[in-house]
Amino acid sequence: METSSASAVRQPSRPNLLRGVLIIAVLGALVLLAVASRDRVQLALGIGYPERSAEPMLVIAHRGDLDRYPEDTFEAIEAAADGSADGIEFDVQRSADGIWYVLHDDTMDRTTDLSGPVHELTSTEIDTATIDGGLGYDTSHVGLGVPRLSDVLDMLRDYAGSLIVDLQHAAAGDAGEVAGLLDGRPATMLVRDVEDIEAIRAADPGITVVARQWVAPDLVDGFLMDATTEATIGRVRGSDLPVWTYVGESNFSDDETGLIRRAWAADVYAFLSKHPEDAVETVEGLRDAARYAAGSAEAGTGVVLGVGLGVGYADLPSNSRPMGSAKYSM
């Protein structure tokens, strides 16, 4: 009896068909997962991330931990001190009666329920202010005030990281006075004028001085520049001094990952982040990738696949970030 050509074709058995579908599904899932995790795969393989010639980049909590509390508040600084960042940056202003406060602006308007220049208000008036705005603020933050510098320094007495004090809108003589209040602890001060540099050197030669403008390279220990500008990268590459970068207020809501990677590749010394815990994770990934790519770390055979799939990340080499002193080791 003859059979048709169609019936003569051997049909796949049901088990084989199901097995094939399952294999295709698994492979498809792996491809999708790999695409979603391509950044982590790149980190493990060291693809697309230029090598640094300098020491690992520091992460500084810019005005405290703004993912948890409003900028420059006692609570934001305390949260940053309990976090993973290498240091904390905060700003200082002086009241009419000579009391120093941690506050970014030279007026009370943007971040508090008071108005007017800080230097025209007494400490009694400033002590009554309530935070009602600013970076990191939301309506759940009730009853927070403007902290005195003395209280913040007392809270940070045993802090092992670096303190970075920004002299916003400093008047003549302010720099030397603030340097004296730091009482010899390892610290960095951000300044704008040559007069401030000289005053700090006279008050405490051990303080690291970083200029907010590209001035007096023979007098300072480094420069602070906006991380979002292309000019920054060119100047970093041409500088003999360490360069710090920060993200301006207009970019507060932006993901800092791309800027951190660019700063890393440009040998930036320290990155001032408004999202310090996320920044630390990004920098640690870049460090791990650099070590892995250089073959300087002993990693398990499953590290690359593990990182790509989101597992086994603990197998990557651990890092020890420099802590305790803001003086440069470059």
What is the structure's pLDDT at 322? 34
CATH superfamily ID and name for 58-315 = Phosphatidylinositol (PI) phosphodiesterase (3.20.20.190)
pTM of the model: 0.75
pLDDT in tens, 74-93: 999 999 999 999 999 999 99
Q: Where are the domains positioned within the chain?
A: 58-315
Mean pLDDT of 26-53: 50
pLDDT tens profile 147-159: 999 999 999 999 9
Predicted local distance difference test score (pLDDT) of residue 326: 36
| Distance (Å, whole) CA 301 – CA 298 | 9
Mean pLDDT in the chain? 79
Catalytic positions are 62, 104
The whole-number average pLDDT for the span 262-288 is 92
Work out the average pLDDT over 11-21. 64
pLDDT bin (cut points 50, 70, 90) of residue 316 is very low
- Rounded Cα gap, residues 31 and 24, in angstroms: 11
| 186-212 confidence digits (pLDDT tens) | 999 999 889 999 999 999 999 999 998
The single-letter code of the amino acid at 286 is L
What pLDDT is stored for residue 215 in this prediction? Answer: 78
pLDDT value, residue 46:
38
